[in-house]
Structure 1
Amino acid sequence: MRDRFRLTLAQLNPTVGDLAGNAAKARSAWEAAREAKADMLALTEMFITGYNTQDLVMKPAFVLDAMARIEALAADCADGPAIAIGGPWIEGADLYNAYYILKDGKVAARVLKHHLPNETVFDEVRLFQQGPVTGPYSIDGVRIGSPICEDSWHPDVAETLEETGAEFLLVPNGSPYYRNKMDLRMNHMVSRVVETGLPLIYLNMVGGQDDQVFDGGTFVLNPGGELAVQMPVFDEAITHLDLVRTEDGWRAEKGELAPLPSEWEQDYRCMVEALRDYLGKSGFKKVLLGLSGGIDSAIVAAIAADAIGPENVRCVMLPSEYTSQHSLEDAEAVAKALGCHYDYVPIGPSRQAVTETLAPLFGDRPFDVTEENVQSRLRGLLLMAMSNKFGEMLLTTGNKSEVAVGYATIYGDMNGGYNPIKDLYKTRVFETCRWRNANHRDWMMGPEGEVIPNRVIDKPPSAELREDQKDEDSLPPYEVLDRILELLVDEEASVEDAVQEGFDRETVKRVEHLLYISEYKRFQSAPGTRLTKRAFWLDRRYPIVNRWRDGSGT
């Protein structure tokens, strides 16, 4: 009977669809495990394919390729520790989310995911068949149970594994970030430990995939819920965990206890990592953005500089006659503070040409939102031209408040390939700027210190599309707007709930109206970093045409 078991935990960043690259990462981690004389290497859920694959995993050729890569990995890594790796499995006509156990040159066992998440960003009921609840697998006489991700959020799978002889639980995850999710993970895993009396290893991947960021934070709990190991969030890392048999059963030896950053730091890190991986995994090395002198474009410029280095960020000021001197000065100050390239491209001549072209059609009709939007669309056109010419991805800079109520111009300032602040309400943009000015970390590639001047943060927000324009001319104050949106969007509350909280009914109904009629804009908007459980895209799927309005309390 063995008294020690060494498990190498690989908290790595796979790329969706890069089967060869992901297999190479697995092989490199296996070599580290072999050098450390580990008994087994553990990788995360669906590691060979990357995660979240969405409908890509429904393509049979892709699944067969992934399965072949796993079999090749087993053969190539026969002489050394076992490997546990996530990937798809076809059995007959059924497709499963599986956890493969590779030993002695072959697939020694498979665990099939039982509970398939079908909420927020997950559609696994659509993609996979439900696997049976089975017992543990054995590695060198040690019996290990592996509830796959969602399986560990329910008591039945872990209890069955304990009842059928599992000596500890290894949980492979593809669990994406949202604000304060770590507390929820920890609470569920402590429950499994208390219910089973077994040590539990919660192994999570890292890295960005489209809107989602997997934040790692792998941890190990001993019976009773005591934290034995806490790996860092967001960083790739490999840890060698030793489990020992005691008279009371298996226990994990104490290891690294990495600190967990504040929610402000984790949100900011999430936006940086999302952009860094979105660019890196899609092949872009540089970005550009319209830098208006306002707070939203300033924080996006800072995120971009921190993600890929200021030398790879082009900031473009595109002024019109409504652009204030303050904005001109502030935009240049932000670019200079960050160390980014700065271009000055006035839109006046282009705007005059468009005005003259449309004059015979528009006749004596008064200036209105049409002419305002022409300015925004000219900026979008010019920025896209620069993106094409220089091979730099255009970033768009609308915050969640604007995205929610449609306070943005489609085919104008909404142009772009990615939006790092798409899930960040305006009131949080202000605080995020203050946080970044006061904090610098090793993972930031931008400079230390105040990179967003205080007057950019403090001045009244304005689109500057007409004389003396302010956002509050068209919208409620952001502290009011954001709380109403939190209720209607994030909490799915009713109009009456918002009124009961103290908001004016007419204001709430207006915000609700703007929210619903802006769905078509969001449908065409760039993807952006997911920070909450109700981000605009996969988390919240509303019809574009929708005539229902909430009449509660009327």
Structure 2
Amino acid sequence: MTTLRIVTAQINPVVGDIEGNTDKILDTIARATAAHNPQLILFPELVVAGYPPEDLLLRASLSHRVDRALQRIAQATSEAYVIVGYPRSREDGLYNAAGVFYRGRMQYEYFKQCLPNYRVFDEKRYFREGKESLVFDFFGVPTAVSICEDVWQDGPTSAARSQGAQLMLNLSASPFHAGKQIEREALLAQRAWQGGMPVVYCNLVGGQDELVFDGASMLVSKEGELLARSPAYQEHLACMDATWNGKTLSFAEGDITDLKPVLEDVYETLVLGVRDYVNKNGFKGVVLGLSGGIDSALTLAIAVDALGAERVEAVMMPFRYTSSMSVSDAEEQARLLGVRYSCISIEPMYDAFMAALADEFAGLDADTTEQNLQARCRGVLLMAISNKKGS
């Protein structure tokens, strides 16, 4: 009887920061080894480059930077297998790859077979499809590797089963949408049943532009039962313990983090997306227009939860039609959340614009143009504050 421990390392990389991401991977390997003494550490899809790397993949320097990163990762491995995702350039094209590292070198390499090309995904623009499965000997356990979309299609699991796999490891970068986690769990249960093997799934966490990756890495038994679920929206190391008797791999039940209600899920996604957009782009903080209404109040709350009150500035920009209640509500919202607050009237600049446009507008009735001009005045103020203060 062999006892095995797998750690899923859901971490938050920065797209393009290959050196920084590699530092994070090496630190995670060291922490996971010291805290849990695993036999395998599984990272998410394309974690070395960050996801989605998009046109960064077209840069000639990319392959050299990735190669240096993989050398550093290989040197950091010892008695535990480490599996990471990265873009791999070969003579016949670019592949979405996963490397299996052990005892100082890359032992195996797998290329993603199913490339998503719908909604937010455009992988066929950059990558070639892998054609071969990977099943390797993990301390006696025939173990398959797949990458994200591979488990959303039938073929890779069927191929792995035909090659005798008793365990599926999936590196993923699956972005959030409302209800997505329920879909993932149902899908992994289906694949576990189809392959007759447990599935260990490690998902990316973090925001990148309009996408947010919510983590929630999982373990599903070969019967399709959920045995472990990591927390969403945060970096996390999860231990998954198993025994292998030479024929059957059995996992013990691990920690299962509760799912949140849909609205709370959406809110946490927005908070993470704002935090990572601001921090990964190097902004000092945020400045926003506060009207006293519900929309900007919610935006203010998200900003404060994402960054802390000390990095948020709210600006009330009243006009002649702005009610006194709106002004007082905005001030109270800013006070309650403890952010910097100022009130700048747009009346003088609006009047200046209207005076400059008097001849152009002569004889024309007032319409939405004048309303839109108010919004443009507010936009100019916020842009100027943002430019001046680096927020």
TM-score normalised according to structure 1 size:
0.69
Match of 2:9 in 1: 10
1:34 correspondence with 2:71? no
SS in 1 for 2:89: strand
Match of 1:284 in 2: 283
Match of 2:57 in 1: 57
1:71 correspondence with 2:71? yes
Quick one: structure 1 residues 74 and 267, their matched pair in 2 at CA, closer, same or farther if it must change by over 3 Å?
Answer: same
Cα shift at 1:265: 0.6
> Following the alignment from structure 1 to structure 2, what is the Cα–Cα distance between the partners of residues 25 and 389?
32
1:321 correspondence with 2:320? yes
**2:304 touches 2:312 (CA, 8 Å); kept in 1?**
yes
**2:141 touches 2:244 (CA, 8 Å); kept in 1?**
no
> Following the alignment from structure 2 to structure 1, what is the Cα–Cα distance between the partners of residues 335 and 381?
22
> Following the alignment from structure 1 to structure 2, what is the Cα–Cα distance between the partners of residues 117 and 60?
24
Cα shift at 1:72: 2.3
SS in 1 for 2:207: strand
Match of 1:241 in 2: 240
> Following the alignment from structure 1 to structure 2, what is the Cα–Cα distance between the partners of residues 235 and 133?
33
SS in 2 for 1:192: helix
Match of 2:376 in 1: 377
> Following the alignment from structure 1 to structure 2, what is the Cα–Cα distance between the partners of residues 365 and 98?
62
1:98 correspondence with 2:89? no
In the TM superposition, what whole-angstrom CA distance separates every residue of 1:518-542 from its partner, at most 9, and x where no partner exists? xxxxxxxxxxxxxxxxxxxxxxxxx
In the TM superposition, what whole-angstrom CA distance separates every residue of 1:479-515 from its partner, at most 9, and x where no partner exists? xxxxxxxxxxxxxxxxxxxxxxxxxxxxxxxxxxxxx
> Following the alignment from structure 2 to structure 1, what is the Cα–Cα distance between the partners of residues 246 and 73?
37
The letter of the residue matching 1:285 is K
> Following the alignment from structure 1 to structure 2, what is the Cα–Cα distance between the partners of residues 331 and 181?
35
**1:7 touches 1:241 (CA, 8 Å); kept in 2?**
yes
In the TM superposition, what whole-angstrom CA distance separates every residue of 1:187-224 from its partner, at most 9, and x where no partner exists? 11111111111011111011111111110111101121
Match of 1:354 in 2: 353
Cα shift at 1:21: 1.2
Match of 2:365 in 1: 366
Match of 2:48 in 1: 48
> Following the alignment from structure 1 to structure 2, what is the Cα–Cα distance between the partners of residues 65 and 198?
36
1:255 correspondence with 2:254? yes
**Identity across matched positions, percent:** 35
Match of 1:153 in 2: 152
How many residues align? The count is 390
**1:41 touches 1:84 (CA, 8 Å); kept in 2?**
yes
> Following the alignment from structure 2 to structure 1, what is the Cα–Cα distance between the partners of residues 270 and 160?
38
Cα shift at 1:19: 0.8
In the TM superposition, what whole-angstrom CA distance separates every residue of 1:448-504 from its partner, at most 9, and x where no partner exists? xxxxxxxxxxxxxxxxxxxxxxxxxxxxxxxxxxxxxxxxxxxxxxxxxxxxxxxxx
SS in 2 for 1:147: strand
1:354-433 matches, cutoff 5 A: 354-392=353-391
Cα shift at 1:248: 6.3
Q: Please report the RMSD computed on the Cα atoms of aligned residues, expressed in angstroms.
A: 1.4
1:82-231 matches, cutoff 5 A: 82-231=81-230
**1:10 touches 1:41 (CA, 8 Å); kept in 2?**
yes
The letter of the residue matching 1:274 is G
Quick one: structure 1 residues 142 and 60, their matched pair in 2 at CA, closer, same or farther if it must change by over 3 Å?
Answer: farther
**2:5 touches 2:242 (CA, 8 Å); kept in 1?**
yes
Cα shift at 1:89: 0.9
**1:33 touches 1:81 (CA, 8 Å); kept in 2?**
no
SS in 2 for 1:279: helix
> Following the alignment from structure 2 to structure 1, what is the Cα–Cα distance between the partners of residues 104 and 195?
32
TM-score normalised according to structure 2 size:
0.96
> Following the alignment from structure 2 to structure 1, what is the Cα–Cα distance between the partners of residues 101 and 285?
40
Match of 1:463 in 2: none
SS in 1 for 2:357: helix
SS in 2 for 1:193: helix
Match of 2:20 in 1: 21
**1:67 touches 1:88 (CA, 8 Å); kept in 2?**
no
Match of 2:302 in 1: 303
The letter of the residue matching 1:307 is A
The letter of the residue matching 1:86 is G
In the TM superposition, what whole-angstrom CA distance separates every residue of 1:356-406 from its partner, at most 9, and x where no partner exists? 1111232232222221111111111111111112222xxxxxxxxxxxxxx
Cα shift at 1:247: 7.6
Match of 1:552 in 2: none
> Following the alignment from structure 1 to structure 2, what is the Cα–Cα distance between the partners of residues 147 and 225?
18
The letter of the residue matching 1:15 is V
**1:285 touches 1:312 (CA, 8 Å); kept in 2?**
yes
1:401-480 matches, cutoff 5 A: none
Cα shift at 1:94: 1.0
> Following the alignment from structure 1 to structure 2, what is the Cα–Cα distance between the partners of residues 67 and 329?
58
SS in 1 for 2:146: coil
Cα shift at 1:85: 0.3
> Following the alignment from structure 1 to structure 2, what is the Cα–Cα distance between the partners of residues 78 and 211?
34
Cα shift at 1:322: 0.9
Cα shift at 1:79: 2.8
> Following the alignment from structure 1 to structure 2, what is the Cα–Cα distance between the partners of residues 176 and 63?
25
**1:290 touches 1:318 (CA, 8 Å); kept in 2?**
yes
The letter of the residue matching 1:11 is Q
SS in 1 for 2:174: coil
Cα shift at 1:180: 0.3
> Following the alignment from structure 1 to structure 2, what is the Cα–Cα distance between the partners of residues 176 and 352?
46
> Following the alignment from structure 1 to structure 2, what is the Cα–Cα distance between the partners of residues 354 and 59?
45
Q: Give the gaps of 5 or more residues in structure 2.
A: none
**2:140 touches 2:246 (CA, 8 Å); kept in 1?**
no
The letter of the residue matching 1:28 is D
